[in-house]
Structure formats: C-alpha cells, structure tokens
Amino acid sequence: MRTNTYDVAVIGSGVFGVWTAYLLRQSGAEVILLDAYGPGNSRASSGGESRIIRMGYGPDEIYTRSALQSSSLWREFFARIESPTLPASQKLFRQTGVLWLAGESDSYCESTLEILTRLGVHVERLEPDELQRRYPQISFAGVSWGILEPASGALMARRAVQALAAQTEADGTTIKRERVAPIGNGNRLDFISTAQPPQIRADKFVFACGPWLPKLFPDTLGQKIYVTRQEVFFFGTPAGDNRFGPDEIPIWVDFNNQAYAIPDLEQRGFKIAIDEHGPEFDPDTGERVGTEAGIKAARTYLSKRVPDLSNAPVVESRVCQYENTSNGDFLIDRHPHFENVWLVGGGSGHGFKHGPAVAEYVLSMISGGATTEPRFALKAKETMQHRTVY
C-alpha cells in the first residue's frame, strides 16, 4: 500500500491543531494536517462565530500568562494577513473590552484583579455607580463591583481557524479532509490509515482532536475527557438600535450566574450562553438544535441583565460541545504507550484563546526541550468531574 511520509502529522484542525501545524511549518517541518470534517467545521468546538479572549483567570496565573502570550501571537498573525485599512467590523479580533461582574465577597474576581495588576495588564476596577453610568443598557442588580479589561475582546473563531489553515497551507502544509485510525506497533505509532489511500506515515503524531480524542483512544481517554452539549443563543436587537453593538457595550463574564454575554458582532445578534455543563454529547451524531429549556434559561438571564431585550426574538442558535477534563486543565502530554504520539485537548470550554500558547508548548515538547507542566499531564486527569478552572 502506498504511503506518504512527513515530519509531523497533526490530526484535528481546531484551534489547537491549526496553530500547531502553523508553528511547525514556520519552524521548517514537513507537516500534514488532517480533519474528518475540515477546518472550522460546524461540529468542531472551534467552529462557532465568536470566542472570548480574556486575561483574567482568578487564581490560575498559569492561564493568565498563557492568555497574554496567546494574545500577542494572535495579533502577530492578524497583522500578517489583514490589511491595515480593513474595517474594524471585518477584522478577526474585535476589541470590545471584557467586563467581570463581581459579587460582594468574590475571591475569584479579587484574585483576577490582583494577578492582572501584578502582571502589568491594564485593568479598571469599577464601582456600581460607574458601571451603570458607562453601560446603562445593563442591569447590575446584585453586582457589587466590576473589572474591565479594555484591551480584551472577541476572536471570530471559525473565520480565524480557517484563516490559519489557509495560511499554513500557503506556507506548505498539506491539508486533507480525512477520517483517521491510528495503527500502532510496539511503543511507536507507525502510520495512520485513512479512508482513501495512501497511508500517512510520520516521525511524530499530534492528536489535537478535542471531543474526538476519547473516540480515537478509548482505553486511555474514554474516562478522562467528558464531552458535554452546550447551547448558545443569539437574540435580535431592535431595528436601528446600536446600543448593543461592540462599540457601545463590552463582553461580560458573570460566573456567579454561570453566564457570559457577547455584543451584537457582525449583526448576528446578542449572544448569551449559560456556562453550566450540559448533558453528555456525541460530536458526530448529536443533533445541534437548541432546546426550549435552553432558550428559557438564556432568556431568563437576558431579562435579568438586559431588560430592554427581554422580549427579543431568538434569531440564531448553536449547539457545540465542551471537551472537559476532570477540573478544566488542558491535556498536553505524550501518549503513555506510543513514544512518538502527543495528545492535545481538554479545552474545557475556555481553550480557544490559548491556541498559540498551547501550540508553542506542543512544539517544545516534541522537540525535547520542554519543562513539563504537571497540570497538563495525563496522570493528573481524574474520572470524577470537579471543575475548578473557568
């Protein structure tokens, strides 16, 4: 049977996979990027219209530092591909600012403010009167204070992933839409089989498959990555009313109510998502239609925080998935049985922003120069779900 041989085969073209392929190709490696459905597809966790990029992570400084590094690399990439004259509304990053809504005794937000200030991130602490003055569209009932990250905002997720894929392909990466099956021999993975020959051989393999990781490696990850169904709703804003657009209102994060909101980007509607883990979900066969219960929960929250949109129609909905580790930490580690295979995933609903930093970490690992982060190790993953990273 015919084979093609590469330095590295990356399986999965979500944000972790495309950034890994992009940086590998930038380093001079011969790379193939494979995905069963293609970059930015509607089943992928990276396939939504928008994802938040924020620096705040409560006490988890490791993720704040990762987000800072990732933000820099995202901006470098956008500077490479976007014209300086491109209108803001068409850019792949929208600097809306990110606002944290804090309770009276809020250790998470207090830690966020302390770490961001110490690391030199520009933030503002806002008291209730100032919050209401700046953002009269929002009801701050029950909010004791807030933190504004002015430089943060939204990444246009699907388009950004597809832009990365297109650029790394132009740089020389081979991209194929193929379902793969790994075939190992002893302590190495020799090749992966695809539906269409030839087999794909590589010196090293990176499986960055998100919710498909436990399907490809059921014995290793079947009980370590838990895939949940997550619903997102977009509510229509009033005709001719710009108060809910990205120039007037920030993204906000309200973890005390397990919710976040994104303003009306690209005229798609005002986005509300409940951040509570949903039921178990199959990314291949699961129906991606919002439920009445999901709409009710989103509308209840919308009515509480944005009363002027309490009767707004749902103009669009999405169902994606989180691929959760036991506590929300990423999984980035060598396969326990194959010395030339790395497992990269566990985005756990917050991973998109970190794509560049995750890819840098993967490259350092496969080159043998990394200092291993224990929190990302496979052995740190448990079967009991207890989310601590948000």
Is residue 371 scored above 90 in pLDDT? no
Q: Are strands 226-235 and 314-324 parallel, antiparallel or unpaired?
A: antiparallel
Q: What are phi and psi of 299, to 5 degrees?
A: -70, -35
Q: Write the pLDDT tens digit of every residue in 55-85.
A: 999 999 999 999 999 999 999 999 999 999 9
Q: What are phi and psi of 124, to 5 degrees?
A: -130, 135
pLDDT value, residue 147: 98
Question: Could you tell me if 146 and 236 lie in one domain?
Answer: yes
Is residue 290 domain-shared with residue 220, that is, in the same domain? no
Note whether 213 and 236 are same-domain residues. Answer: no
- The structural domain count of the chain equals 2
Is the model's pLDDT at 210 over the cut of 60? yes
CA distance 201 to 6: 6
pLDDT in tens, 230-255: 999 999 999 999 999 999 999 999 99
Does residue 205 sit within a domain? Answer: yes
Question: Where does residue 150 rank: exposed (0-12), middle (13-18), buried (19+ CB within 10 A)?
Answer: middle
| Same domain, residue pair 168 and 218 | yes
CA 201 to chain centre: 29
Residue 166, pLDDT above cutoff 90: yes
Compute CA distances 385 → 129, 193, 252, whole Å: 39, 33, 26
Q: Check which CATH number belongs to the domain holding 122 and give it.
A: 3.30.9.10
Kindly state whether residues 220 and 336 are assigned to the same domain: yes
Residues 125 and 266 in one domain: yes
Q: Is residue 61 part of a domain?
A: no
The CATH number that applies at residue 189 is: 3.50.50.60
Question: SS3 for 216?
Answer: helix
* Per-residue model confidence as pLDDT tens digits over 338-355: 999 999 999 999 999 999
- How far is Cα 255 from Cα 261, in angstroms, rounded to an integer? 11
> Which of 306, 324, 342 is the endpoint of a domain?
324
Q: Are 374 and 239 in the same domain?
A: no
35: left (phi over 0), alpha (psi -120 to 50) or beta: beta
Nearest to 349 by CA among 316, 385, 301: 385
Residues 194, 307, single domain; the answer is no
Return the beta strands (E) in the chain as ranges: 3-11, 31-35, 51-53, 93-94, 98-102, 124-126, 145-149, 153-155, 174-177, 180-185, 188-194, 199-207, 226-235, 251-254, 259-262, 270-274, 314-324, 331-334, 341-345
Give the helix, strand, coil percentages of the chain, each rounded to 5.
30, 25, 40
% of the chain beyond a pLDDT of 90: 93
pLDDT class for 218, splitting at 50, 70, 90?
Answer: very high
Distance CA 265, CA 151 (A): 17
Residue 390 within any structural domain of the chain? no
* 241 and 262 fall within a common domain: yes
Domain match, 148 and 237 both: yes
Evaluate whether residue 76 is within a structural domain. Answer: no
pLDDT at 197: 76
Q: Give the structural domain span for 29.
A: 3-46+158-224+326-380
pLDDT of 390 over the 80 cut: yes
pLDDT for the residue 1? 39
